[in-house]
Amino acid sequence: MAVSDNAVIIRAYEDTDHAQVRDLFIRINRELAPANMREQFEEYISTAINGELSQLRGVFSETKRNAFWVVETNGQIIGMLGIESRDHASTELRRMYLDRRYRGRGIAQRMLQCAEMRARKLGFSKLILSTAEVQQAAISFYRKSGYTLVKSELADTMSTKTVGGGLTRFHFEKVL
């Protein structure tokens, strides 16, 4: 499924997108890193690149009721996002990133709508997500988009979803 508007296209990830997706992931995570956590963020970036990001098509395989998209304009990937099945009713929004130069233009809203629409089409009734305290704009965005905060937790250990290091993670959900 490709969604296009004003020369911004949301389309399915292809293997040829890997280098641009990797570079976007690195750039955004470095921008998010507080000065006192730069080393931890670098470790997280390396772990993600050598793990999940090196096998996006497998992790987000449609045969598993998953999907992964890139956001492109003028041949450049400016965003990415995916959904990953958690159980029969719930899917999780993953790896939603948008280059800061393109924020404030409604693109993130279109990205989220794309994920919600696909989740409904795949038969999910709930979309869940989590984000860290360093992403205040994302927290506000999800609240404005109808997501309810269901819990927060202190992330002490690194995982595929968090840098760890004592950052607070906020978990949201929305009934579709």
Residue ranges of domains in the chain:
3-175
- Residue 42 pLDDT grade (very low, low, confident, very high; cuts 50, 70, 90): very high
pLDDT above 60: residue 2: no
The model carries a pTM of 0.91
Contact 111, 138 (CB under 8 A): no
User: What CATH architecture is 3-175?
Assistant: 3-Layer(aba) Sandwich (3.40)
Task: List residues bridging with 169 in a β-sheet.
Answer: 132, 153
pLDDT, tens digit (0-9, with 9 covering 90-100), for 49-102:
999 999 999 999 988 999 999 999 999 999 999 999 999 999 999 999 999 999
pLDDT above 70: residue 152: yes
Is residue 2 helix, strand or coil? coil
Please work out, in degrees rounded to the nearest 5, the angle formed at the alpha carbon of residue 63 by the alpha carbons of 172 and 169. Answer: 20
